[in-house]
Amino acid sequence: MLHWQKRILVTGGAGFLGSHLCERLAAEENDVICLDNFFTGSKRNVAHLLDKPNFELLRHDLVQPILLEVDEIYNLACPASPVHYQYNPVKTVKTSVMGAINMLGLAKRVKAKILQASTSEVYGDPREHPQREAYWGHVNPIGRRACYDEGKRCAETLFFDYHRQNGVNIRVARIFNTYGPRMHPNDGRVVSNFIMQALNGKPITLYGDGLQTRSFCFVDDLIEGLMRLMAAPDDFTGPVNLGNPDEFSIKELAERIVRLTGSSSMFVHEPLPSDDPLQRRPDIRLAMERLDWRPGTPLEDGLGKTIRYFRGIL
């Protein structure tokens, strides 16, 4: 008889990060339930898993409760790019807050371990650089990005309150910019934007002077970090930063993508969007110390794989 190690629920499992996580968990012979409402996720991202006996796909919106028997929950469901989370900001807040309540309620009931995919956006436009987990952030609670930033901050609050009040076994990961194959081509994120513009020979849009900085973590490294956090001792709840501490200016990223794609695209400058952080870089000492984790994929290698994926879907 087949024996699966664990029953694991991945919410947002047909999304960019979720599909890579489902793939890894299924490959390790866990019984994986992928839950998604396909607002930004795509069935195509998990199509190659559908014939696996230990993989199940459910169409469900996390704003509604669901009854399942599981050992672990990875709560990844939420649109994560400005284009998508600002499209329906009320829905974004509901997904973060009511989704967290529903999943924490499930974890409490079935005594499952639960991991929240939080975000570096909880730091807002940071006054501290690089950002440590102890930093409380600098967020505009009524800005256009607040539906995502404050939704994720509230979800963290709920996780720690369920942990303190009900003894729920939680993990909180603060995910910094991540890129790789299966990113949504129209998600408005800088890596996918630049690659699509370069491959289509369109002008590359730089906001402001392009000197604002970001740190880019390849998806395989990030998934490894999430799995290590879930497997960590129960006294380690996080929050813990997961991201790549190597910092690049947006202009530098654009120049690399133009070179790697062999594109003739020129740069055009647009005004900086409101509340767009000027610097973003994780301090990952806690992840290195407690999870023995650090990203290992150089930017050039990761960009090469991502460009090949986008060429394939074009």
Q: Over the stretch 116-139, which tens digit does the pLDDT of each residue have?
A: 999 999 999 889 999 999 999 999
Rounded to the nearest 5°, which phi and psi values hold at 225?
Answer: -60, -45
Q: What is the CATH number of the domain that holds 164?
A: 3.40.50.720
Instruction: Indicate whether 1 belongs to any domain.
Output: no
| Lookup: tokens for 91 | 């829905």
Ramachandran bin of 298, using left for φ above 0, alpha for ψ from -120 to 50, beta for the remaining angles? beta
Angle between helix 250-261 and helix 190-199 axes, rounded to 10 deg: 40
Is the pLDDT at 215 greater than 60? The verdict is: yes
Instruction: Indicate whether 201 belongs to any domain.
Output: yes
Q: Which DSSP category does 235 fall into?
A: T
Please give the Cα distance from 63 to 111 (Å, whole number): 21
Instruction: Indicate whether 199 belongs to any domain.
Output: yes
The strand pairing partners of 32, in sequence order, are 8, 55
Is the pLDDT at 1 greater than 60? The verdict is: no
Instruction: Indicate whether 258 belongs to any domain.
Output: yes
Tell me, what's the pLDDT at 188? 80
Predicted TM-score (pTM) of this structure: 0.94
Q: Please state the domain count of the chain.
A: 1
179 noted as active-site residue: no
Residue numbers of the domain that contains 67: 7-313
Mean pLDDT confidence for 302-307: 97
Instruction: Indicate whether 243 belongs to any domain.
Output: yes
- What percent of the chain is predicted at pLDDT more than 90? 84
**Residue from 74, 123, 148, 162 carrying the catalytic annotation:** 148
Q: Which of 72, 189, 184 is nearest to 119 (CA)?
A: 189
- E-strand stretches of 53-157: 55-59, 72-75, 113-119
pLDDT digits (tens, 9 = 90+) for 48-64: 999 999 999 999 999 99
Please give the Cα distance from 235 to 73 (Å, whole number): 17
